[in-house]
Amino acid sequence: MADRTSSSITIGAGRSTIMAVIADFPAYPEWAGQVKAAEVLKTGDGGRASQVRFVLDAGVISDEYVLGYEWDDDAAVSWRVVEAGKMVSGLTGSYRLAEAGGATEVTYDLAVDLKVPMIGMIKRKAEKVIIDTALKGLKRRVEGR
């Protein structure tokens, strides 16, 4: 997998509250700007999604694909492509949640591989837009509850 893009944000809530929002995939179109649809295909032990189909429109990256998820309680979740899309050939990422003095620091890592050639700088910019939009949306969603 190519270079990863990473960013963090502090959210005024506990890890379990934040992870509940992250695990609510059908609600993603309401707060994760580029996600137009998210459908849970399979659930794993503990009732959290293990496979989710996404429809994404992030400008230069617009596609439909399936991600597989691995959960580490309320500390982290990671994902990878299990069904590539027309553009996206690989996508790995994670949310890591760490206690931060009454709040939680959320770190989002993302690496996207595309089937079409794209200049690395443009791809990293698209990854950064996806991450920043998701983190800001997650913060608004959690703190607005």
Which stretch of 30-39, 69-78, 116-125 has the lowest confidence by average pLDDT?
116-125
What pTM value is reported for the model?
0.88
Q: Using 50, 70 and 90 to split pLDDT, how confident is the model at 72?
A: very high
Q: What is the pLDDT of residues 112-121, one digit of tens each?
A: 888 877 667 7
Nearest alpha carbon to residue 94 among 6, 1, 2, 34: 6
**Residues 137, 94: Cα–Cα separation, whole Å:** 16
Please report, for the domain that includes residue 44, its CATH number.
3.30.530.20
- The domain in which residue 34 lies consists of 5-143
Identify the three-state secondary structure at position 129. Answer: helix
Domain count, the chain: 1
